[in-house]
Structure 1
Amino acid sequence: MKKLATLLLFLCVVAGLAKAQNPADLAKTDAVQETQEVQNDYQEFPVEALNNYMMNALSKKGKSLGTVNSDGTIYIIGAATTARPSNMSGFINSRNIAYNIAELEAKMNLLRMSGEELKSGRGYSMLENLAEGEDPDARKKASMLQKAAKIVDTSLDKALSYLGVSDEEIAKMNQSKKEAMFEQKFNQTITSLVAGMVKGCAVVRIAEGDAGKDDYQVAVCMKYSPEFQSLASVIRENSQYQLPLSKVSNSK
């Protein structure tokens, strides 16, 4: 009798397991239902859309976003959100402020990256482009850096002289002070040179729209090109200058 009861209990357990493993029943369980009811509520923000667009567009030209390209161009994205949602009064002013902040952020990132490239020694081609450009200030500073960097290992005194340190000042320094002065002057010249690159910057793409909740985002893509910097310098020197219609830039 005891054996019969044990057998019946075993059969009941097996039957229960079989029922639980039935596909139709499994499909109705909370665990499975939850996987079928996942909501795709992800919203691509304007800065993400712009980033994806620019990476795709630039890759077709053999270029990249956020780096110094072979032709000297640089593309950087900046973004900012408005202080007021799009359905409130004062939104237009808030949107314009956000645009200005996004533009400023892009410029700052671009100049910071350019400075890092030059200080690390990777920006030789950039320095060469500036030295051969039409911007007299950039040409002078780039030439100073090129000459100083070329001769510093053989004559620190001459390198300091190229960077604007007088012979009297050089004569008063020992070796360690000369080395410290060279690093200071070299970096100061790079900083000044890079600051002038803002003349070669222009916004080439804008993306804006809702960014979740009540936020409205403005994103801009800033482009720097050595040709644009040269052109800006020419126009500044000659306000009557008109760009020929057939003028073609090396960078695109």
Structure 2
Amino acid sequence: MTNKLKTLLNTFGLNFQDWYEFTRYIIKKEKERGTWNPEILGTWVDTLSIFYALESCKSVVGENNTCRFSKRALSKKDLNTLLWHLNHNRAVRYRRGSKSKINYVKEVGDELSESEARRKLSEFMVDFSISNYPIPLTYKDENNVDDLNLMNEIFKFQLIAESELHTKVNDIYRDCLKLTQISADYKIMLFRTGKETLAKNRKKAFERLLTNSLKEEDNAEWLFIGLPSFVEWELKFRERKKLPVIIFTFKGPKPDDGKVKLDNKSEMWKWN
């Protein structure tokens, strides 16, 4: 596991937990006011936590890069619900780092009026990706490009990710297969943490999948991360450090015998 992959994992982990804790704070304030409605708690918490954490990795994988993520993962209802609760909890603005999160979610939700938000909410091949420059620059006329230095680079993905915390088991592997067919420096597969026996079976399944589908010239570094949902984390908050997180890593290319073996690095996850 390279130092850069360690930094990537640490950056993702800290920001992922930060969002979970931020959401918990909002819920706590709602309960204190007697305005909390548990029915609004949906998968949007997990989705936005993951995408927020992935976006924070931009500076790790490159400079002046751009990211985008799947619109289908963020329903308008969930976004509106989250925005309402953020905007009705003014106290969170005084918490460390909270302002940036509020602005982040506003930008995502305001897709109709902000071109930047529209770009970020544009799915392209995978759930999430970071590239060295925006897709439109691959076909724009040079006279309409502000930074001509970018035109001297070949468009490439620096990081791609698939997030499947709330899907069927088979869908996890189908989406992981996408990652094997797309070139990128870093590849991340996110899934729901299961029992220990399931984790062992999942490791073997991922190894078979990469063995049978990974291209010989693929030198990408891989992170497989199994996480608990927000609800699971919240239920065991006082004992959260005991919550299992699964981490497998792999650095291409495939070995000479063609059989991929993942390294188990689950001990590297640290709960706040």
Superposition TM-score tier, normalisation by shorter sequence: under 0.3
Higher helix share: 1
Q: Which is greater in Rg?
A: 1
Whose relative contact order is higher, 1 or 2, with alpha carbons under 8 Å and at least 6 apart? 1
Question: Normalised by the size of structure 2, how large is the TM-score?
Answer: 0.26
Provide the TM-score with structure 1 as the length reference. Answer: 0.28
